[in-house]
Amino acid sequence: MSSGLLLLGLAFAGTLDLRYAEAIGVPSGGSAAPDGTEMPRSNTRPLATPATHINTDRELALNAALERELALTSEHLQYRKRELRWTISIIVMSGVVLVLLSWMLIANVRHRRALLVLAEQDGLTGLPNRRRTVEKATAALAAAAVGHRPLTLALLDLDHFKKINDRCGHAIGDHVLKEFARLSRGVLRAADTLGRWGGEEFLLVLPDTQIESAVAIVQRMQSALAEVQLPETVPELSVSFSAGLATRTTHAQSLDEVIACADAALYEAKNGGRNLLRLDRETRRAAASAVLLALGDPVSS
């Protein structure tokens, strides 16, 4: 009887120990019951140890460091994006400024060229104006003097030009002037200069040209100008010019002196009936007889 009570007490105490272990979360370890059968294992989690707490703190600290690094990287990327946008903006603005400056430079060069053309060119005919013609004639005369080369000047005057303007109108007169310039360019050489001297008068500069060659050039210009037709309402009028030629001689050295000689010869051509070529006195003396006979201008005493 006492032995049975002892076994019953031990079994009750073992049950209490098991329940206490389960309450505090300690695994039972599969201990055997008093009757020899194995007790079932407990499903409760083990208690956290100090090592577990340390690992968790490290992971939290590492995650926080990674988050800070990620935030700094994102901020750095945003800064680089802003810097790239500013760089692109500066490059674009610099390109625009460069294009604008280039356009202004080109426009300025074109404007200066246009002013230079206006200062040196006759607006109607496109020929050199009087000032530019004087410059080119002076340079040609100086070169002829240095190199002891021949030089011939010719003053040309369109015949009956006032009548053409009065009878046909100024538009036809302007057309005659422009056609004279255009047709003359087709006859003259690259070194020759034909400039508008004033109104319907022109100065022709022929460097390295003896009087015989100069006469031939002027005659070709007369033939070319004959192609210009006036309205049928004025059949009595035609387009032609008279010319006075002079060469640089010992009696005519400066530009003014040679031009004065050519002007005197032009006066003779106008008085002789127009559409004529005449040589000044000194040039006639030096010219070949064949040239004078062709011009109908024999040597006079």
3-class DSSP state of 218 = helix
DSSP state of 274: S
Q: Which residues pair with 207 in a beta bridge?
A: 151
Q: In whole angstroms, how far apart are CA 246 and each of 92, 168, 187, 253?
A: 65, 33, 20, 11
Burial per residue of 220-256, b for 16 or more beta-carbon CB atoms within 10 angstroms, e otherwise: ebbebbeebebeeeeeebebebbbbbbbbbeebeebe
Contact 207, 149 (CB under 8 A): yes
Catalytic residues: 200
